[in-house]
Amino acid sequence: MSLIDKRDTLIKKWLKKAAADIKESLKSDLNVETKTKRNDLVTNMDRQIERDFVEQIQYHFPEDQIVSEEGYGDKIEDIHLEENTVWFLDPIDGTLNFVLQEENFAVMLAVYEKGIGQQAYVYDVMRDELYWAIKGKGVYCNDQLLPKMSDTPLKDGLFASNSMYLSDKQVNLNTEITKQAMGVRTIGSAGIEATELAKGSVVAYVSYGLKPWDVAPGLILIEENGGVLTEFDGSPIDLLNTKPTIMGTPTANEEIQKMI
Ligand code: 2AM
Ligand code: CA
**Contact at 8 Å (CB) between 206 and 255?**
no
User: Which pLDDT score, from 0 to 100, does residue 157 have?
Assistant: 98
Distance 196 CA to ligand 1 centre (A): 17
**Which ligand 1 atom is at minimum distance from the Cα of 40?**
20
DSSP 71: S
Give me the mean pLDDT over the 194-203 stretch: 98
To test the pocket of ligand 1, the residue of 214, 215, 247 to mutate (highest count of ligand atoms within 8 Å of its CB) is: 214
Confidence band for 170, pLDDT divided at 50, 70 and 90? confident
Q: Which residues contact 36 (CB under 8 A, 6 or more apart)?
A: none
Please provide residue 52's backbone torsions phi and psi, each rounded to the nearest 5 degrees.
-60, -45
- Which residues are within 8 A (CB) of 208 and not within 5 positions of it... i.e. 6 or more apart? 162, 164, 168, 170, 244
Ligand 1 lined by 212 (C-beta under 6 Å): no
70 lines ligand 1 (CB under 6 A): no
Q: Does ligand 1 come within 6 angstroms of the Cβ of 162? A: yes
pLDDT of residue 168: 73
- State how beta strands 65-68 and 139-141 pair: unpaired
Q: How many CA atoms lie within 13 A of 64 on its CB side?
A: 25
Taking only the tens place, the pLDDT of each residue in 218-256 is 999 999 999 999 999 999 999 999 999 999 999 999 999
Atom of ligand 1 nearest to the CA of 98: 2
Distance CA 100, CA 198 (A): 26
Model confidence at 27, pLDDT cuts 50, 70, 90, reads very high
Question: pLDDT digit string (tens) for 56-75?
Answer: 999 999 999 999 999 999 99
Q: Is the pLDDT of residue 1 over 80?
A: yes
Pocket lining: 188 vs ligand 1, CB cutoff 6 Å: yes
Kindly report the CA angle at 26 between 141 and 213, in degrees rounded to 5? 50
